[in-house]
């Protein structure tokens, strides 16, 4: 079982993951089209009326009240940190990099094991926060369904099992198999479930024309 998960299944899941990501990126660019903003303003803009705004410092702080940092600052901060960590933690993990080095001949830099441990605990803590949010808050419960809870498991089981396996708390052999299995399930599910928002966060928020986009935006559906 271990050999299967370590060898061909791991390779297969990575391939499916990358192919799925590429497919979704291509899908985005085929479903959207380039959009040229208008080159000329038709009509007088009333620049004679001085706009007269408050000081830039006030404007900057006030702007925050209008966006998500003003509306839901806790969730905004936690979710940003969480999403960065959920990628950074496994990618710069020493154990993973050793395995990649053994299998494919290269590796990425790694954090110290203690630091990775700390990051994993952070991820798990945030997981508890998200679960709390989904179960307790009425507004999140209203849009939740079974798939959300399954996705939660798919994402956090690799972290839980990895943490237990690394520390060898109990049943190491089974934990490591479970860890690899759940990790591979997550990789395979990612491009084809709501986890694809990993990709579409960047595609939508940077490329689409919208009030809330980060870039200038040059595409529309």
Partner 1 sequence: MGNNSEMQVDTQKIRDLINQDKSMIKLMLKVCAHCSMCAESCFLYVHSPDDPKYIPSYKMLNSVGYLYKKKGNVTWEDLERIKEIVWDNCVLCTRCYCPLGVDIPRMISLARKICRSQGVYKEYNT
Partner 2 sequence: MIKIEQKPFQEIVDCIQVYDHILNVGCGGCASVCMGGGQKEVNILNAELEMYFDEKGQNKEIGSYTVERACNMTFLEELDEVVKDYDCILSMACSAGVQFIAERFPSKPVFPAINTVAIGVDRDIGLYEEKCRACGDCVIGYTGGICPVTRCAKGLFNGPCGGTNEGMCEVHKDIPCAWYDIHERLKAQNRLEDIYKIREPMEWQNQVQRAVVHPDYAHRYMEEE
List contacts with partner 2 (CB under 8 A): 37-38, 40-43, 46, 49-54, 58-59, 61-67, 70, 209-211
The binder of 166, among partner 2, partner 1, none, by C-beta within 5 to 8 A per type, is none
**Can you spell out the DSSP letters for 161-204?**
HHHHHHHT-S-HHHHHHHHHHHHHHHHHHGGGSGGGHHHHHHHH
Residue with smaller CB distance to partner 1, 7 or 70: 70
The window from 56-64, 69-77, 110-118, 180-188 that contacts partner 1 (CB under 8 A) reads 69-77
Q: Give me the helix-helix angle, 113-136 and 73-91, nearest 10°.
A: 140
Interaction between residue 140 and partner 1 (CB under 8 A): yes
Interaction between residue 200 and partner 1 (CB under 8 A): yes
Residue 31 φ then ψ, to 5°: -80, -20
Q: Binding residue for partner 1 (CB under 8 A) from 67, 108, 118, 132?
A: 67
Query: Quick one: CA dihedral 96, 82, 150, 21, positive or negative?
Result: negative
DSSP 48: T
Task: Point out which residues bind partner 1 (CB under 8 A).
Answer: 27-28, 31, 67-68, 71-72, 75-76, 79, 137-145, 148, 193-194, 196-197, 200-201, 203-205, 208, 210-213, 221
């Amino acid at each position: 079982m271990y050999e299967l998960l370590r060898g061909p299944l791991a390779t297969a899941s990575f391939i499916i993951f990358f192919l799925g990501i590429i497919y979704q990126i291509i899908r985005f660019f085929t479903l959207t089209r380039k959009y040229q903003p208008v080159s000329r303003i038709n009509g007088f803009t009333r620049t004679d009326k001085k706009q007269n705004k408050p000081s830039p410092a006030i404007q900057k702080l006030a702007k925050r009240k209008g966006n998500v940092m003003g509306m839901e600052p806790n969730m905004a901060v936690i979710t940003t940190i969480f999403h960065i960590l959920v990628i950074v933690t496994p990618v710069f993990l020493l154990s993973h990099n050793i395995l990649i080095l053994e299998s494919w001949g290269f590796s990425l830099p790694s954090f110290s094991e203690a630091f990775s441990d700390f990051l994993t605990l952070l991820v798990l803590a945030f997981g508890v926060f998200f679960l709390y949010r989904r179960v307790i808050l009425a507004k999140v419960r209203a849009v939740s369904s079974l798939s959300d809870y399954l996705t939660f498991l798919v994402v956090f089981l690799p972290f839980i099992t990895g943490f237990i396996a690394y520390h060898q708390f109990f049943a190491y052999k089974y934990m490591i198999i479970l860890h690899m299995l759940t990790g591979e399930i997550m990789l395979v599910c990612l491009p084809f479930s709501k986890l694809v928002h990993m990709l579409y966060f960047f595609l939508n928020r940077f490329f689409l024309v919208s009030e809330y986009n980060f870039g200038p935006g040059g595409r529309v559906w």
